Chains A and B, each alone.
Chain A
Amino acid sequence: ILNVEQSPQSLHVQEGDSTNFTCSFPSSNFYALHWYRWETAKSPEALFVMTLNGDEKKKGRISATLNTKEGYSYLYIKGSQPEDSATYLCAFDYGGATNKLIFGTGTLLAVQP
């Protein structure tokens, strides 16, 4: 059974704090690791698709790293803002004829002004 775990489940930070969370996934049959940002009452929105060991991607104040050998990815947010409040989902892409994804349960981030 393929299992994707995210930690912590939730995080409360103050505006301006930097934060990070973890996604753990199987280290075999790896094709890609996806990060999504999901605001309440909106659609999950793609942040990054990471494919190579050692990958580091950045979008504004958000960045992500990937270690496929040990099966984890970190998402970092520098200088958190209230608009960063959302659930951050990771999804493991194990290949196959269609890109079926295994999602983690997400990390809920709340940034207080």
Chain B
Amino acid sequence: NAGVTQTPKFQVLKTGQSMTLQCAQDMNHNSMYWYRQDPGMGLRLIYYSASEGTTDKGEVPNGYNVSRLNKREFSLRLESAAPSQTSVYFCASSETGAVQETQYFGPGTRLLVL
């Protein structure tokens, strides 16, 4: 039981390049989330997917797109990377998305945009 996995672990991009961050969970959870972590700031929600087939914007969605490929997988795409998107990206999942539920996090992807 791997929980939440993310690939890649590290990535360096040049400004303007695109890439997709992958996330998968094997806990049969309905809800999945993408966060970014920047120094001096709390984890901020980029996008979330309450259930398969639905996605919604979080606090900081600009510059990102997401795809809920199936129940297990939720990807985050940067179409044209900018230095401001240098961050650590975390994917998380929760069972139903109901309030008070624990979210389970992946190990993170460290992204550097030059």
Number of A-B contacts (CB under 8 A): 68
Contacts A34-B102, A43-B4, A51-B100 hold; do A102 and B42 have CB atoms under 8 A apart? yes
Number of chain B residues whose Cβ lies closer than 8 Å to a Cβ of chain A: 28
Contacts A4-B42, A101-B45 hold; do A43 and B106 have CB atoms under 8 A apart? yes
Closest to B97 in A: A98
**Interfacial residues of chain B within 80-106, with CB under 8 A of chain A in the complex:** 90, 94, 97-106
Closest to A45 in B: B105
Contacts A49-B100, A103-B42, A106-B42 hold; do A97 and B50 have CB atoms under 8 A apart? yes
Contact residues in B for A93 (Cβ distance below 8 Å): 99-100
What does DSSP make chain A's interface, helix, strand, loop or mixed? Answer: loop
- A interface, size bucket: 20 to 34
| Chain A residues engaging chain B, CB cutoff 8 angstroms | 4, 31-32, 34, 36, 41-46, 49, 51, 89, 91, 93, 95-106
- In order of increasing CB-CB distance, the 5 nearest A-B pairs are A103-B42, A103-B43, A32-B100, A43-B105, A98-B97
